[in-house]
């Protein structure tokens, strides 16, 4: 059974930073591509970032590229999302997800396991 648990969300002013963490329980963490998605009220879930199992392939949503950084520590079964220069439009519930694939998927339906999410609120 694979379980994902996010932490690190909160309330921050525009221009501030937050670091989200996602810890995965279960075997073979290094074989999963790990993604971050977000969903704001009334909007569809949106891809944010993804990192391959070995950390060599990374992709971002264009609007966060240069502000957000995804990373992982396979010794700790953890993936991180460093978010800098936050904007009010980044406000959403952020969830991490695991995909049993060697590629870096951006589509939510390609992910096999999901966490419950953590709320990020950016005030103007």
9 Cβ neighbours under 8 A, 6+ residues apart: 18, 20, 93, 94, 118, 119, 120
Distance separating alpha carbons of residues 74 and 78, to the nearest angstrom: 6
pLDDT, one tens digit per residue, over 67-124 is: 999 999 999 999 999 999 999 999 999 999 999 988 899 999 999 999 999 999 999 9
Q: What is the largest CA-CA distance in the chain?
A: 41
């Amino acid at each position: 059974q694979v379980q994902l648990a996010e932490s690190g969300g909160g309330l921050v002013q525009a221009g501030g930073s937050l670091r989200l963490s996602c810890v995965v329980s279960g075997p073979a963490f290094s074989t999963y591509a790990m993604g971050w998605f977000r969903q704001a009220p009334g909007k569809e879930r949106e891809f944010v970032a993804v990192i391959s199992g070995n950390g060599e392939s990374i992709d971002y949503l264009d609007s966060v590229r240069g502000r957000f950084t995804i990373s992982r520590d396979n010794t700790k079964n953890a993936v991180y999302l460093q978010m800098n220069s936050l904007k009010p439009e980044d406000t959403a519930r952020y969830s991490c997800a695991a995909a049993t694939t060697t590629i870096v998927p951006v589509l939510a339906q390609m992910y096999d396991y999901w966490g419950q999410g953590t709320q990020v609120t950016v005030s103007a």
